Amino acid sequence: MAEEFRLRSVAVAVYGPAALFGLAEGAMLPVVALSAIDRGATTPVAALIGALLGIGSLVMNIPAGVLATRVGERKSSCSPPGCRPPGWCCA
């Protein structure tokens, strides 16, 4: 007889990476905004930069998922820099 599925058995593997990414992005955001202000950006421009980080993350989730489905997770994470979003290459 098959075992009953429990969400607790896979919760860390499923939600862990997304939680860590969210924590890291949230920790990075104030540093990015303050760095932009330090380099001469106005407060609204620094806020726009912070917002674009979140928007870019949301927008790129779908293409990244499609790529991972088509070529596999390992190959998609080892893709050459030319296949990554331009923002990663310019960082």
Cα(62)–Cα(18) distance, integer angstroms? 14
Handedness of CA 70, 68, 51, 49 (dihedral sign): negative
pLDDT in tens, 66-76: 888 888 877 77
The continuous run of DSSP H or E covering 62 comes out as helix 43-71
> DSSP secondary-structure letter at 85?
-
Give the tens place of pLDDT for each residue, 25-65: 889 999 999 999 999 999 999 999 999 988 988 888 888 88
pTM for the whole thing? 0.60
